[in-house]
Amino acid sequence: MIIIGVLLGCLIGSLPTADWLARSRGVDLRATGTGNPGTNNALRVGGPKLAVPVLLAEFAKGAAAVWVGHFFGDAAGASLAGIVATAANVYNPWFGFRGGKGLAITGGTLTVAAPWVFLVLVAVIGLGVAVMRRSGPAALVTFASYIAVAAWGGLDGGLVSEAPWLVAMAVGQSALMAPKHVLDTLRPADRSASRG
C-alpha cells in the first residue's frame, strides 16, 4: 500500500500549478524573468497577485502529498511521499526534468509532517536572507538547519513524528534542492539577487 502513496505523492508534486496559474494570467514563467516556475519569479514578473496563488498552490501540493502518503503508509509513507513530491517539483518529469527550486512545496510538506520544524525553518531562512542578502546561501543554511533540527527532535505534533523518518525526509528533500541553490550561491552577488 505504501507504494500507492509514494506514487500519488510524486504525481501531486509534479503538477505544474505555477505554470497553470501564470498562463491563466497571460504569463509564461518559463519564458520570462528567470525562467524558473516558482514563487520568486512569479513575484518578479506578475507581482503579488500571481505570487501569492502560486505559493499557496505549492504549499497545498506539499501538504496533500504528505497526507496521501500518511493515509497509505503512516509516517513512512508520509516521509517518502514528501520526498518524492519535492523531487517531482524540482525535476519535473512533464518538462524535461526542469522544475522549480522546491522551497514552497517542501514548506507545504512540513506544515503537516512537522509543523514545529516548519516554523523553525521559516525563522532561519528569513534571518539568513536578511543577514546575507542572498537567497542561495540562506537556503543552504536552512537545509543544514532542517537536518539538524530533524535529528534533534523533541517535539511532536505532525504526521512524521518518528525521528528516523523525519531525518530521512530532511536529508532527502535537502539533497534534492541543494544543487540549484548551490548554483545560486556561486553566481556573482549582483546576478544572484535577480534570480528566482
pLDDT digits (tens, 9 = 90+) for 92-135: 999 889 888 999 999 999 999 999 999 999 999 999 999 988 88
Q: What is the pLDDT of residue 189?
A: 63
Write down the residue that cell numbers 500507492 correspond to: 4
Q: How confident is the model at residue 91, as a pLDDT?
A: 96
Cα separation, 38 vs 196, in Å, equals 7
Cα 10 versus chain centre, distance: 13
pTM > 0.85: yes
Taking CA 115 as the corner, what is the angle to CA 166 and CA 146, rounded to the nearest 5 degrees?
A: 50
Cβ atoms of residues 24 and 80 within 8 Å: no
pLDDT band at 155 (very low <50, low <70, confident <90, very high): low
Give which of 63, 75, 61 is closest to 2, Cα–Cα.
75
Look at the block and give the residue holding cell 530532511. Answer: 170
Q: Over 80: is that where the pLDDT of 10 sits?
A: yes
All structural domains of the chain with their residue ranges: 2-192
Quick one: the chain helix, strand, coil %, rounded to 5? Answer: 75, 0, 25
Burial of 10 (0-12, 13-18, 19+ CB in 10 A): buried
